[in-house]
Every structure is written in C-alpha cells, then in structure tokens.
Chains A and B, each alone.
Chain A
Amino acid sequence: MMRIFDRTRRTRLFVALLLSAAIVLVTIDYRTHGNGPLEAIGRGIMTVIGPVQQAVTRTLRPVGDFLAGFTQVPSLKAEIIKLEQENALLQQREHQVTDIARENEELRKLLGIGHRFDLKTVTVRVTGVGPSNFENTVFIDRGTAEGVRRDLPVISGEGLVGRVVEASAHSARVLLVIDPSSAVAARLASNGQTGVISGKGGEQVQFDLFNVDAPVSLQDEVLTSGYRGGVYPAGIPIGTVARLDPKGSALTRRVWVRPYVDFTGLDYLLVVTGTGATR
C-alpha cells in the first residue's frame, strides 16, 4: 500500500517537473522572440530529420498520394463539376487571350521589358508538412548550402506560395500565405489599388484594401505589390477576388481572395533568391 502511494507521489513530482520545464521553455521562447537557443535546437532537429523525411516522402509518396486521394473522395465529385464549368469558361477566354497576347507583346516592346518576371530562383521539392493543425507550413529539400535563407519568397507555376521562415543546411520551412500569421502587400491588377493579404488558414485569404472606396469586383486578379525592402517582388500572381464583404464603417475595404495555388498538393516549388535587377 505504502509502495503504491510512493509511486503515485513520484509520478506526480515527475509530471510537475516536466510541466515546470515546459513553462520555462515557453518563457525563454517569448523572451528571445524566436531568435534564441531554442531556434538553434529546432534547426538542429531539422538537419537530423530533414534527410530522413526526404527519403520517407520520396519512397512513400505513392502511399501518401493514395491516402490523400482516399480522404479527398467526397470532394472529388464537386471538383469535377467545378472543373467542367471552368473548362468551358477557359475555352471562351482562349480566344480573347490570343488577342491580348499580341497586344501585350507590342506593349512589352514599347516599354522595353524583356520579361515580366526576371527572377533568380532555386528549384525545391516539398518533403513534408508542418505537424501542427494550428500552422500552415511545409518543409523543402534545400537550405542555406543551396542559397535558401530566411525571408526569401517561394512561388509555384501558379503563383505565390509563401516565404522561408527557417533554414538549416539542407532543408527549410516555408510559411504558406494561407497561414494566419502571414501578411503580404498586394494590389488589384485592374486598377492598382493596394492593401494587405492575410491568411486565415482556410481556402481563401483576406484582402484589406487601404482605400475604402476602391473599385473592386469578383474575379479581379490580385498580385503582390512589392515595395522597397519588402520580402516579395512585385507582380507575382496571388489569386482572384472570390467574395466581397459589405462596406462597413471600417478603415479598410475587406474582400476575400481565392489563391491560384492548391496548397493541398504542393510538390515542386521555386525559391526566389533574387531579381534580374539585383543579379
């Protein structure tokens, strides 16, 4: 009886010690603002786990894809209907695009712009996703040794993906634009009205336009606005306006943007290490 009592007391003491240690860690993390020894340990763990994660992901990618497909079956039917509608719309637009492309080519010549995006990039592959449901991050297979460093923008063929928030020698962590802590300076392609895109964790991101009376309508394209000293270069496509909140008494006009990028199926990405001008 006495031994059971002792064991219970020892367990309680052990748990109290663990909880105290955890609270000390929370305090250290808050005081160092994510730039202290804990971040260095995190980078160390990434260095150890990164290669294992890459090997597992590459070997078991078919299993992961199967599981991902299996869990997405209910939404596939709706997706097919949506894609058929989009296809019809795109066929319609194709005819318009030929004309716009010709006009664009002429304007490019006029302005002397060689390329719309003259970016210096590193091709990376996604090796894993963040373990928490409270954060939207992915891990990539390139790090500081390959020129990937903190605060570099990450894009895909469709548009803006996010930015690097932590980099070890051969792997890095990317914060996606849909994450609640992400903020991107953006503008409407149609009239240049600027604002800030913030993630909400869901499929759509929030776009707060600085001008309350800014003219905005559904399907308007949203691009990064870029500014001196900013993280993202100007002109990277983000998505299209999907929902308009009614004008209220707020200081900004709030609309919702559906990103071009499908964040559930990220694979190959580009880390922007510089622009043509800075090369």
Chain B
Amino acid sequence: MIWKRALLLALLVITGLVIETSVLGQATLVGTKPQLLLLMTVALAMGEGPSLGAGFGFTAGLATDLMTGLPVGLTAVTYTILGYAVGTIRAQVQTPTAWLPAAMVFTGTLGGVLLYGGISLLLGQEAAGGRSLIEHSVYAACYNALLTPFLYPLVRGLGSRLRPARAMR
C-alpha cells in the first residue's frame, strides 16, 4: 500500500518539523539548535537503506526550506545526499557496534551542515550564529549525537512501519 507509506512518511516529517520548531527550538546549546529532521534522516537511512533515506531526506529538507526564507531546495539537496550516503555506508558495515548510531549521526550532521553551509556560501548566504561554519557544524553534530540515545530507537521503530510488506512465495 504505497499511499499508506507515503502518508506515514508525510506524518513523520510534519511531526519532526513541529517538534523541531517548538520544543527543541527553544533548547539551544551554545547558540545552536538541534537538527531533528537531519537526525531522523540518518536514523531512517541506517534502518531502511539509501532509497528511503534519500526519499525522507528530500521530503524533510523541502518542508524545512518552505518554512524558512532561505533558498528553497538547498536543504532538500543536502538531506537527499545525506540519506543516500548514510544508507550506502551502513550497508557496507558488517559488524555494527553500539556506538555506530551516535557516530553516524555525528558524522552525518557534521557533513550535512558543512555541505549546506558550503552551498549557501557559494550562493551568497551568510551563516547565522556569529561564528564560523566549522564551529557551527561541530556544535550541531555534538548536540545531535547527544540526542541520539533518546531519539534513535524511536525513529527506527517508526521507520520500520515504512517497510513494504513482503509477498509470500
């Protein structure tokens, strides 16, 4: 039932966006907000593979873009690449450790913010926060990694519902 999966995916994005802009938006750590939708993209890509990771990344990125005054499509590009890359890398890991989710979220957030910031700078946008892009990405990566133990299992659980039902042969 593809429409059920699409509806669930849209609900996941809206829920993530609402929590990111309301409750988590107030909880800044050294001036940086946590990037919940980015964390969700990494978690879903790890659990469900590069295809769903990229699909969720595109939808979440587009929703984020439309809620800001920043160029529409930039976050969508970043999260799509991130979802695909994380899903592909995860498929190569044979023996995952307990630290793998936090490490992937840290690296994914670091790479995602750097990629977004890099493209933004090329397009003439200035990073907020009064600090360099590298500082900015490190703070966001640390914050997301700290949230991973609490949110990762929850997102993986919800993500498993997006899995297509296998036909019995």
Contacts and interface: CB of A to CB of B under 8 A. Distances in A.
Contacts, number: 180
Contacts of A22: 58, 61-62, 73-74, 76-77, 80
A117 interface: no
A142 B62 CA distance: 24
Please tell me the size bucket of the interface on B: 35 or more
A203 B31 CA distance: 9
A41 interface: yes
Nearest to B77: A22
Interface stretch (B1-9, B92-100, B121-129, B152-160): B121-129
Interface stretch (A57-65, A86-94, A210-218): A57-65
A26 B51 contact: no
B66 A42 contact: yes
B10 to A, nearest CB: 11
Contact of B80 (A19, A64, A139): A19
Contacts of A203: 130
Contact of B69 (A14, A52, A166, A178): A166
A198 B131 CA distance: 15
B128 A133 contact: yes
Nearest to A41: B66
A129 B25 CA distance: 6
Interface in B44-83: 49-51, 54-55, 58, 61-77, 80-81
B106 interface: no
Interface stretch (A66-74, A101-109, A153-161, A243-251): A66-74
Interface in B13-31: 14, 17-29, 31
**Size band of the A side of the interface?**
35 or more
A130 interface: yes
A21 B28 CA distance: 32
Contact of B128 (A11, A23, A48, A201): A201
A22 B78 CA distance: 10
A9 B29 CA distance: 41
Contacts of A179: 128
Contact of B129 (A21, A165, A202): A202
A224 interface: no
B104 interface: no
A83 interface: no
B67 A64 contact: no
A181 B130 contact: no
A71 B27 contact: yes
B117 interface: yes
A134 B125 contact: yes
Interface of B: 14, 17-29, 31-33, 35, 37, 49-51, 54-55, 58, 61-77, 80-81, 84, 113, 116-117, 120, 125-131, 136, 140
20 contacts: A14-B54, A14-B55, A15-B51, A18-B76, A22-B61, A22-B77, A22-B80, A25-B62, A42-B67, A49-B14, A64-B26, A67-B27, A129-B26, A131-B25, A132-B64, A133-B127, A134-B125, A135-B128, A201-B129, A264-B26
Identify the 4 closest CB pairs spanning chains A and B, nearest first.
A202-B130, A201-B128, A25-B73, A129-B25
Given A42-B66, A202-B129, 4 more contacts: A29-B73, A42-B72, A65-B26, A67-B23
